[in-house]
Amino acid sequence: MSNRRRPSSCSAPPGAGKSTVAQAVFERTLDTGTRAQPTIEDFLRTVTIEMALEYADHTIRYGRT
């Protein structure tokens, strides 16, 4: 894989506020030129407050299984 950087003119589509884990890994692969693997930090960056609250509500209602 070449060590090319993405053009700065690349922009996210409208409404694309948060990056997905797959997108973060893909971008890191392009940036480094080496195949990247997802990290815990990638997952933590993609979790929204709404997602965390939904998970908390679910575990309170149904218990941790």
CA-CA distance, 14 to 52, in Å (whole number)?
24
DSSP 21-60: HHHHHHHHHHHHSS-----HHHHHHH--HHHHHHHHHHHH
11-62 tens-digit pLDDT: 444 445 557 999 999 999 999 999 999 999 999 988 899 999 999 999 999 9
pLDDT value of position 4: 55
CA-CA distance, 62 to 44, in Å (whole number)?
23
This prediction has a pTM of 0.52
Q: Give the contacts of 19 (CB within 8 A, at least 6 positions apart).
A: 27, 45, 46
